[in-house]
Chain A
Amino acid sequence: MGLILVLTLTVAGCWEGRELNARAFVTAVAFDVPTEEGADPMEFLLSVQIPIPAKMGEDGEQGGGDAPFVVYGTTAKMVSVGIRQLQRQLDRELFFGHTHMFLINSEVAATIGVDRLLDHFKRDFRVQRMTRIAIIDGEAREILNTQPPISQTPSAYIENLLSPQSGVAINYISDFGRFLVEQSDDGIDPVLPRLQPGKEATLTGGAAVIKNGKFRGWLSNFETRGLNIILNQGTGTKYEVECPLHPGESIVVGVDAFRSRYRWLEDNGQTIFLIQVRGKFETIEFSDGHGPLAAFQKDLEQRVSAVVRRELEQTVRRAQELGADVLGVGRYLQSYKPKRWQQVKDRWEQEFVALPIAVEVEMEWAMTIRRFGG
């Protein structure tokens, strides 16, 4: 027994093993523009959010009004250096094994680049590829400081906002691993979700387009929804269309089960890139007195198709405006028309901007009907 004790005391805390309480779990990392005047343009403000275990463990009896987490920040040029600076004021070792999010301010993302900022974490084995990344339209640090309305930690709250379970189709779902893959693939530019910090709550929706590792521009909420549909990651969503029988009145339809596919059509030197989308919808709400009618079935299908098509076309137009191939057209070409890709790959950005892209949408009223009549 004595031997074991001696052994333990001498070898305890061996290698880099630490007690749970000797580690500071970093749940989220934020990158911002430095606040100090005259900072180097390549410098950034690195903030980490650390939950306080003692406060998280309680059911709020003694916790009082204090937030159950703290946020530390420092200005640095390299992430590792920043971490070292943060470590100076902490008695516990910063631990990134539980980091759930990277939040990057859009200005920093544009000047320094997402790729460059995350280089340290790419090489840290403890950081998971499932970690979420978001580009912040505003100050990223502010989000870390917001006390969430329901969830206990802001990180859990934000993570849910960025996850598929939040149930809105206007947020783009991505993570660290996917970002890295899209970053390295030819012929596709990665997109990251957008977050907007507010006074009361953080808003999700919209997306940031990244080109060559740097922030290029925003996609609006509906453009993001279109992108989701085109990239086959659409969750169910809703559209409002005009009632075919009563102009001015509207019908809300719930759409789901999208399938999109790409086609490359070449016709006597004329090339057209075609995006074909199929989907199903059901009627959800009527503003006038009648319910679903067999009479306007065809008409309604066409109207829904038109509404969806308009949205997708807007997405495509926006992507071409930004000059970023977020649709993965180039990747499609590389895979299915490798010869064509050989010719265009060196000047793909110009090619993509000038590429005629057509959208075909075919929506079917093929879901359940629960109630006829008003």
Chain B
Amino acid sequence: MSGNERFLSSRQITLLILGFAIGGGILTLPSLAAEVLGASGWLLVLALGLLYMGSAWIAARLAAKFPEETIIEYSPRLLGKGFGLLFNLVFIVHLFLVIPVNIRILQELVNISLLPGAPVWFVSGSYLLVLAYGATRPVDQIAQVNELLIEIALLIGLFVALTAFQHFEPLHLRPLLSRDQINLDKIEQLIGMTFSFGSIPVVNMVVPYIRQPWQVTKATLKASLVITMVYSFFTATTIGVFGYKETIELSWVALELAKSVNAQAVILERLDLVLIVSWISALFTTGLIACYLVGAALGRLFRVRKEAAFIWGLAPVAYYLSTKLKNYFVWSQASFYVAVLSLVITFLGYPLLYLLSLVKGKHRV
């Protein structure tokens, strides 16, 4: 049985991109957006989303040009050996760094609500084990799990956001772009926001498994659009409910949103824990896909078929790094660095590769 069997539908690609993007980032995104742009924070999210859609288009075109290979294989050909290797290393490191941040966010969420006082070795450890076990599965299995989990998480998230509308104040979203609320100098927050968007690498890594490689552009754009819509809607809801000042003061805005919802009709007394429980699966898809991508990328880089060995080998490193991210400030700092790397790849790497592929493609003809 050949390794490159094409069994992913374009819908699954869309959901893989969604699953990688939507995770811990969205929980803090409205806070960051409000800090930069105040009441109009959702506009910033929308603008960022559109910006990323452009880069997603480039990445998808690039992927569609090499339907048999991943970015690891064609980047050295386009960039030259040395630069290609450098690019690949940056690419892998940035994917890998997502994992400890992801684990840390989970640890924090669990400790804040579900299991106060549960030790790191238990929560992060068990999570990482399941993560690594899942990532060593074949890609179609990962796609299926992701499909199910991300849909459930999004449905529950949407439900929470809609029920929170009972507290929605349209006043809170005005005025549009008031000058005294804009703090464009908060670069750190601005870049931190992009942490939630960097999901495009998925498409360049899984394209050899897609059933119809020519549909990849459409699937990627669809995913970016959904991400943009979900983020903007969610940010708008949050700011509308809390007002931008309160939004800035809250750490896990999404959870506070769920806490403020009165849902007496539901058997359970509160929705916030239900949101957390389902959000664990959204976090999990991010971690799972990141793990898988790291494994697959390393496997392709060294031309070895044993991705599982890489994943299990790197798991302790991820665990160690996650324990280093001891609190909110530290991990948001770390997510800032990940976001910087991601920015470099998305807005420098992809366009460059795409241009080169156009040029070299012409030469070949």
Say if the two chains contact directly (CB < 8 Å): yes
The answer, yes or no, to whether B65 is at the interface (CB within 8 Å) is no
C-alpha gap A75/B116 in the complex (Å)? 28
C-alpha gap A178/B262 in the complex (Å)? 12
Give the contacts of A5-63 with B (CB-CB under 8 A). 14-17
Q: Are B115 and A338 in contact (CB under 8 A)?
A: no
* 25 examples of A-B residue contacts, CB within 8 angstroms: A14-B118, A15-B116, A15-B117, A15-B118, A16-B116, A98-B269, A126-B113, A128-B259, A128-B272, A129-B256, A129-B259, A129-B260, A130-B262, A177-B259, A181-B242, A181-B243, A181-B246, A184-B242, A184-B245, A185-B172, A185-B246, A331-B171, A334-B174, A338-B175, A338-B178
User: Given A16-B115, A128-B259, A338-B178, does the pair A178, B246 have CB atoms closer than 8 Å?
Assistant: no
Partner of B171 from A17, A130, A335 at Cβ < 8 Å: A335
Q: Are A342 and B116 in contact (CB under 8 A)?
A: no
Secondary structure at the B interface, as helix, strand, loop or mixed, is: helix
Q: Are B180 and A336 in contact (CB under 8 A)?
A: no
The answer, yes or no, to whether A180 is at the interface (CB within 8 Å) is yes
When C-beta atoms are compared, the residue in chain A nearest to B122 turns out to be A15
What range describes how many residues of A lie at the interface? 20 to 34
The answer, yes or no, to whether B11 is at the interface (CB within 8 Å) is no
Give the contacts of B159-181 with A (CB-CB under 8 A). 167, 171-172, 174-175, 178, 180
C-alpha gap A128/B259 in the complex (Å)? 6
User: Given A15-B117, A342-B180, does the pair A336, B259 have CB atoms closer than 8 Å?
Assistant: no
Q: Are B171 and A332 in contact (CB under 8 A)?
A: yes
Q: Are A15 and B249 in contact (CB under 8 A)?
A: no
Seen from chain A, the residues whose Cβ lies within 8 Å of a Cβ on chain B are: 14-17, 98, 125-126, 128-130, 177-178, 180-181, 184-186, 328, 331-332, 334-336, 338, 342
Contacts of A130 in B (CB 8 A): 259-262
The answer, yes or no, to whether B112 is at the interface (CB within 8 Å) is yes
The answer, yes or no, to whether B218 is at the interface (CB within 8 Å) is no
Q: Are A128 and B270 in contact (CB under 8 A)?
A: yes
C-alpha gap A335/B262 in the complex (Å)? 27
Q: Mark B112-130, 1 if CB is under 8 A from A, else 0.
A: 1101111100100000000
User: Given A15-B119, A125-B113, does the pair A186, B175 have CB atoms closer than 8 Å?
Assistant: no
C-alpha gap A125/B175 in the complex (Å)? 31
Q: Are A336 and B270 in contact (CB under 8 A)?
A: no
Closest chain-B Cβ to A321's Cβ sits at a distance in Å of: 25
When C-beta atoms are compared, the residue in chain B nearest to A11 turns out to be B122
Closest chain-B Cβ to A119's Cβ sits at a distance in Å of: 12
When C-beta atoms are compared, the residue in chain B nearest to A123 turns out to be B251
C-alpha gap A177/B164 in the complex (Å)? 12
When C-beta atoms are compared, the residue in chain B nearest to A177 turns out to be B260
Contacts of A98 in B (CB 8 A): 269
Contacts of B39 in A (CB 8 A): 335
Contacts of B262 in A (CB 8 A): 130
C-alpha gap A185/B175 in the complex (Å)? 13
C-alpha gap A181/B113 in the complex (Å)? 22
C-alpha gap A342/B179 in the complex (Å)? 10
C-alpha gap A331/B39 in the complex (Å)? 12
Contacts of B180 in A (CB 8 A): 338, 342
User: Quick one: which of A178, A186, A338 has the most chain B CB within 10 A?
Assistant: A338
C-alpha gap A298/B242 in the complex (Å)? 43
Give the contacts of B263-278 with A (CB-CB under 8 A). 269-270, 272
Partner of B245 from A16, A186, A336 at Cβ < 8 Å: A186
Give the contacts of B6-26 with A (CB-CB under 8 A). none
Partner of B246 from A15, A125, A184 at Cβ < 8 Å: A184
Closest chain-B Cβ to A159's Cβ sits at a distance in Å of: 12
- Given contacts A15-B119, A16-B115, could you give 15 more A-B pairs where the C-beta distance is less than 8 Å? A16-B116, A125-B113, A128-B260, A129-B256, A177-B167, A181-B243, A181-B246, A184-B245, A328-B171, A331-B171, A334-B178, A335-B171, A335-B174, A335-B175, A338-B175
Give the contacts of B21-63 with A (CB-CB under 8 A). 39
Closest chain-A Cβ to B78's Cβ sits at a distance in Å of: 49
Contacts of B246 in A (CB 8 A): 180-181, 184-185
Q: Are B175 and A334 in contact (CB under 8 A)?
A: yes
Closest chain-A Cβ to B42's Cβ sits at a distance in Å of: 15
Q: Are A184 and B175 in contact (CB under 8 A)?
A: no
C-alpha gap A15/B113 in the complex (Å)? 13
Give the contacts of B217-244 with A (CB-CB under 8 A). 241-243
Q: Are A16 and B175 in contact (CB under 8 A)?
A: no
When C-beta atoms are compared, the residue in chain A nearest to B123 turns out to be A15
Contacts of A186 in B (CB 8 A): 245
Contacts of B116 in A (CB 8 A): 15-16, 125
Contacts of B243 in A (CB 8 A): 181, 184-185
